[in-house]
Amino acid sequence: MTLRPLLCLALLCSCLVADAEEPLSRIAFGSCADEKRPQPIWDAIRRLQPQLFIFTGDNIYADTADPEKLRESYEKLSQLPGFSTLRAATPVIGTWDDHDYGKNDAGAEFEGKGAAKEAFMEFFATPEDSPLRQREGIYDAKIFGPEGKRVQVILLDTRWFRGPLLTMSKDELKAARAEAGRPVGRYLPDAESKSTMLGEEQWKWLVDELKKPAELRLLVSGIQVLALDHGWEKWGNLPRERKRLLEVIRDHATDVVILSGDRHSSDISMVPPETDGGPFYPLYDITSSGLNQTGLPDEPNRFRVAGDRVYNEPNFGWIEIDWEAGDPLVTFEIRDLDGHVVREVKTTLNTLKPCRL
């Protein structure tokens, strides 16, 4: 059973009561930032004066279970002049991916995850009374802005609980690379896998979060949710989990847009309404990667809706919301080192609903 009628009714009943909090109209996001290499891109981000910056994972390349080395890496990032100036003026939130979690492509089995969580909470100045301190993982959510102009940011943890993935053998990988004529990932979609991506507690929490009222929801996942045509890490490697996520969105929330990173290239994907178990509205996955880690060759993507290839020079994601339009206009962009737009999609909040109002 789906909730299309209930969601429509809820939308018709929603009322707009403004309060004093300023709505978010300019949001920047990005991933894949090696703290040991220059990060000139922060200047372009700062010039746009974002009201919020969201790290979507691989925020440092620590790749260690050593708490001291993790702290040193975060400290290096904190000391970068461009980033420290941005952070002095702009709230910075985020989730992690594998390299800040502590090990390439790691999941639930990684023994260093407790130390990684400590270092993560220190860097993001997690409040002492945050529920994040009482539970496993680092998933979290926050709603910004007044009623009628609320932006909910949901930060998923796709590392702490994630079960094993199916991988190609060395010979299979070699053959796949030879056939493609470029590097390819080693993971295979495993339709039979019982591995979890989020763990049951986080799944329950996600449904509760999606039920909270908000006008736009940014669902942040370190790895791509929609893309299916590559062999690197992605939700598509656990098809049951990808389907579950799309169904959870369909059944519980309007106005969801996914933000992701990880790939060392950027791409904007969209599944049309009622595709793969997804919602009755277009579902976008805006992948921005990376802030200074890029260069992965082009690859196919059946869901690509902006440009005809991946963008693989340094870049960041940019979101603008025009709350004054009758049907608020939302622009999602990938911008380059100079702040120029290289990929873009525009939508409206009414388009991100199961029925047009």
Cβ(291)–Cβ(329) under 8 Å?
Answer: no
Note whether 63 binds Fe ion by CB under 5 A: no
- Residue 263: other Cβ atoms inside 10 A: 28
What 3 state SS string does 76-130 have? Answer: HHHHCHHHHHHHHHCCEEECCCHHHHCCCCCCCCCCCHHHHHHHHHHHCCCCCCC
Applying CB under 5 A, does 97 fall inside the site for Fe ion?
yes
Nearest alpha-carbon partner for 354 in 274, 239, 245, 240: 274
Task: Decide: is 98 part of the binding site for Fe ion (CB under 5 A).
Answer: yes
Q: In 3-state terms, what secondary structure has residue 317?
A: strand
Q: Which stretch binds Fe ion (CB under 5 A): 186-194, 242-250, 260-268, 286-294?
A: 260-268
For Fe ion, the binding residue among 35, 63, 262, 276 (CB under 5 A) is 262
Angle at 129 between CA 253 and CA 97, to 5 degrees: 55
Q: Which is nearer to Fe ion, 97 or 255 (CB)?
A: 97
Secondary structure of 263-277 in the HEC alphabet?
Answer: CCCEEEEEECCCCCC
Q: Which stretch binds Fe ion (CB under 5 A): 22-30, 95-103, 196-204, 209-217?
A: 95-103
- Which pair of tokens denotes residue 190? 């495993």
Q: Residue 98 or residue 276: which is nearer to Fe ion going by CB? A: 98
Please identify, using beta-carbon distances, which residue of 97 and 215 lies nearer to Fe ion: 97
In sequence order, the β-bridge partners of residue 53 are 28, 92
Q: Is 34 among the residues that bind Fe ion (CB under 5 A)? A: no
Residue listed under structure tokens 């301190």: 133
Residue number with CB closer to Fe ion (241 or 255): 241
Instruction: Find the shortest distance in angstroms from Cβ 58 to Fe ion.
Output: 5
- In the bound state with Fe ion, the residue whose beta carbon lies nearer, of 23 and 107, is 107
Nearest approach, Cβ of residue 270 and Fe ion (Å): 22
Q: Would you give the binding string for Fe ion spanning residues 120-159, x where CB under 5 A is met? A: ----------------------------------------
What minimum distance in Å lies between the beta carbon of 34 and Fe ion? 12
Stretch that binds Fe ion, among 96-104, 163-171, 195-203, 224-232 (CB under 5 A): 96-104
Nearer to Fe ion, 58 or 209 (CB): 58
Tokens linked to 251 = 């059944």
Among 58, 157, 209, 255, binds Fe ion (CB under 5 A): 58
Distance CA 318, CA 350 (A): 20
Q: Total binding residues for Fe ion by CB under 5 A?
A: 4
Residues near 137 by beta carbon (within 8 Å), at least 6 away in sequence: 117, 157, 159, 160, 161, 199, 202
Token pair listed for 61: 């390349």
Residues that bind Fe ion (CB under 5 A): 58, 97-98, 262
